């Protein structure tokens, strides 16, 4: 027990020193910005097979505004119905509650009727991984023994490159039946 207490104190001292050193040299503690908490458009670039919906293409979200930790987004997509009729680009407003601790608390989405009907959106997602250009969201799961249904979102900068090796590692270890899509140049972003 005594050894454990000494270890905890040593870790605390190291982290305190490291945080102070970083804060003093950079002016702030470095870190990534959760893309859902940013103003850049986000593009759906990967998803689990269970989320595949051939009626929706060119899926992306644009920032609409914010109030505190509530961020308003508009989800845009091209919609083609079961009869093959193209309805063009549809947009659905929704709000995301940004968690204080993104890797520990769920990302909460205000799921409206249209958002649920068209996309089968969930009200809470686990943030599996994020960096400044991408984030991996997973449906909340009952057990940790099976992989999650996931979606991968990226900024325009990320869509012109591949996922980072670290992001790929998180996808491979946490997500099932993934498919990746290159965001086509033919998509008209709002």
Dist CA 97 CA 117 (whole Å): 21
Dist CA 110 CA 72 (whole Å): 10
| pTM > 0.85 | no
**Minimum mean pLDDT range among 1-5, 48-52, 90-94, 153-157:** 1-5
Q: What's the mean pLDDT in 12-21?
A: 36
* Confidence grade of residue 57 (pLDDT, cut at 50, 70, 90): confident
Residue with tokens 């102070």, as numbered in its chain: 20
pLDDT of residue 16: 37
Indicate the domain borders of the chain. 1-30, 35-180
- Domain 35-180: CATH architecture, name and number where available: Beta Barrel (2.40)
Angle CA 164–166–169, to nearest 5: 110
- Looking at per-residue confidence, does 23 or 64 come out higher? 64
Q: Is the confidence at residue 5, as pLDDT, over 50?
A: no
* Confidence grade of residue 138 (pLDDT, cut at 50, 70, 90): very high
β-partners of residue 178 are 48
Q: What is the CA radius of gyration of the chain?
A: 19
């Amino acid at each position: 027990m005594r050894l454990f207490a000494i270890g905890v104190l040593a870790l605390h001292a190291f982290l305190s020193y490291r945080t102070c050193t970083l804060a003093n040299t950079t002016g702030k503690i470095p870190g990534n910005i959760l893309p859902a908490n940013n103003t850049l458009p986000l593009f759906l670039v990967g998803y689990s097979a269970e989320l595949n919906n051939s009626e929706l293409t060119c899926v992306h979200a644009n920032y609409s505004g914010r109030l505190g930790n509530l961020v308003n987004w508009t989800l845009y997509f091209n919609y083609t119905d079961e009869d093959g009729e193209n309805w063009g680009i549809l947009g659905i407003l929704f709000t995301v509650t940004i968690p204080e601790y993104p890797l520990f608390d769920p990302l909460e989405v205000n799921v409206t009727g249209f958002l649920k009907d068209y996309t089968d959106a969930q009200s809470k997602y686990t943030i599996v991984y994020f960096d400044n250009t991408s984030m991996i969201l997973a449906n909340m799961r009952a057990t940790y023994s099976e992989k999650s249904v996931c979606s991968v979102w990226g900024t325009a900068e990320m869509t012109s490159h591949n996922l980072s090796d670290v992001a790929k590692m998180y996808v491979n270890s946490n997500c099932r039946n993934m498919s990746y899509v290159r965001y086509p140049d033919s998509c008209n972003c709002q």
